[in-house]
Chain A
Amino acid sequence: MWRLRESTHPVLTDAGGAILDERTGRWTHLTPTASAAVMLLLSGATEEEAVGQYATRYGIGAEQAAVDIRTVADALTAQGLATAGPASHRRWWRWWR
């Protein structure tokens, strides 16, 4: 299941979004549509449900919505802000990370 990493602190609004990575102190800016895509992905819906809601919201086809949502998810995963795997558990011998 796609999710943001524990070290991230997102601000997601209809006017746009931003994600602070506590490991690096860097902000990642999200456009309003990218912010909506992340909100839908984090809402607990499956990716198919998120695609359906996104398509309805912006009046676009399901294919285009799927491409948009996947692009946002992949971009955040590539930046190390999100992960598609299960939650990782911090190991006690690497507590400082």
Chain B
Amino acid sequence: MTSMEAFSTVRTGTFLERCAAAAGLALALVLLRLPFRHTTRAVRWARRAGRRPLTAARAEAVVEAVWHTARLWPGRAACMETSLGAVLAAALLGGRLHWCLGVRFSPPPTSYHAWAELPEDGPVGEYTEAGWHHHTALTI
């Protein structure tokens, strides 16, 4: 995964969304300490809680709220942590986001990435104006 920290200094979302973001990020940090097969299993369970489709605006608000919360975490809060945190935060709010893990080969160098995705709307909070070059390996 990329080692670049992902956080935002802009506070976004409602109070409820910010609370869900904090809880989602905390859960993500715990889950990512577990063997990865347990992490993916837990995410699949969590996904069952979130069945309601989110609007693009709300999904964006949740992802940015997680980035904002990640600012307060002194440890690693890169794409894995924030994307999983956003998916779990959305689930806590009863909404559905996909957690995607993928890789980009071009433009070089090869980079591995994790992101949150709206089922029919593509990656959330990612820079896609120059095209989205990541190939998805796993979607939960």
Contacts and interface: CB of A to CB of B under 8 A. Distances in A.
Contacts of A22: 36-37, 40, 138
Nearest to A18: B103
B35 interface: yes
B135 A9 contact: no
A15 interface: yes
Interface stretch (A24-32, A44-52, A61-69): A24-32
Given A11-B135, A18-B112, A23 B105 contact: no
Given A18-B110, A22-B40, A27 B138 contact: no
B103 A27 contact: yes
B36 A23 contact: yes
A25 B99 CA distance: 14
Interface string A53-96: 00000000000000000000000000000000000000000001
B26 interface: no
Contacts of A7: 37
A11 B35 contact: no
Contacts of B136: 11
Contacts of A15: 105-106
A11 to B, nearest CB: 4
B105 A20 contact: no
A18 to B, nearest CB: 4
B114 to A, nearest CB: 10
B37 A23 contact: yes
A33 to B, nearest CB: 14
Contacts of A26: 36
A44 B138 CA distance: 22
Contact of B105 (A10, A16, A25): A16
A32 to B, nearest CB: 9
B137 interface: yes
18 contacts: A9-B137, A9-B138, A10-B137, A11-B102, A11-B135, A11-B136, A13-B135, A16-B110, A18-B112, A20-B137, A22-B37, A22-B40, A23-B35, A23-B36, A23-B37, A24-B37, A25-B36, A27-B103
Instruction: Give 9 nearest A-B pairs by CB, closest first.
Output: A25-B36, A15-B105, A9-B137, A18-B103, A11-B135, A9-B138, A20-B137, A16-B105, A23-B37
